[in-house]
Amino acid sequence: MEFEGKVALVTGAAGSIGRGIAARLVQQGADVFATDLDQAPLDALSAELGDRCRGTAADATVHADVRRVVQKALEAFGGRIDLLVNVAGTVGQGAPVEEIAEQTWDQVFAVNCKGTFLFVKEVVPVMKHARRGSIVNFSSKSGKTGSALLSVYSAAKAAIIGFTQSLAFELAPHQVRVNCVCPGIVEGTGVWENVSADYIKSMNLPMEEVVRKFTAKVPLGRLARVEDVVHLVCYLASDRADYITGQAINVTGGREMH
């Protein structure tokens, strides 16, 4: 029960990775407050995980919504938030840079970067007051090495790494650690569905061939699984990682090595 007595706030909790993280944290003793755009999947998650998981829908790009979520989380679980996991993100539609709409650029940065910033902004005062906390942000392999046809997503995820490193320096005196994870392609996620659909359309390939092309680039010979990401996130959130901050750690099967 590694997280016994801890309270976690998980964004993007309706997606497969967010659900997996919330479930693992509850399994390991945490109280979890979950948020995403729609209420129905959050209600389903709460029903599945029991009284130790509650949630409310919000738009991570709207400051008033974020403030409301944080307040509800504090009210739900005794006025504390020990862990913040910023999973919420969007990849946008893959396209050559000259075909990317300004609206798409703004939306991808709003969800990935502004949303992460707003939740950090509202949660950090709580952690500073408690003189403890762990924040785990979500970047991507594409934030380390840009991906063709995903220039806006790559740029946004690179920004998350810089934001994470700055926060690690800023918050270390308050005993608040900040790290981020950089997954590669994770099967069973919305990102993989979008990317594979773009490849199927642009290259006129069947799904089996798209999977083969992606896995051929991975030294360990497979796509990432949701549990691979969950393992790392929960380690970074835990006291076992008490001396780790400012890191952007890959979950790529060896495809990304810096």
Active site residues: 153
Q: Which helix (H) or strand (E) holds 236?
A: helix 226-237
Q: Does residue 87 contact residue 17 with C-beta atoms inside 8 Å?
A: yes
Sign of the C-alpha dihedral computed for residues 76, 80, 82 and 84 taken in this order: positive
What letters, b where the CB count within 10 A reaches 16 and e where it falls short, cover 129-144?
eeebbbbbbbbbbbbb
Name residue 182's beta-bridge partners.
Answer: 250
User: Can you name the residues that pair with 72 across neighbouring β-strands?
Assistant: none
Do residues 57 and 34 touch, judged by C-beta distance below 8 A? Answer: no
Using CB atoms within 10 A of its CB, is residue 112 exposed (0-12), middle (13-18) or buried (19+)?
buried
Cβ-based neighbour number of residue 120 at 10 Å: 21
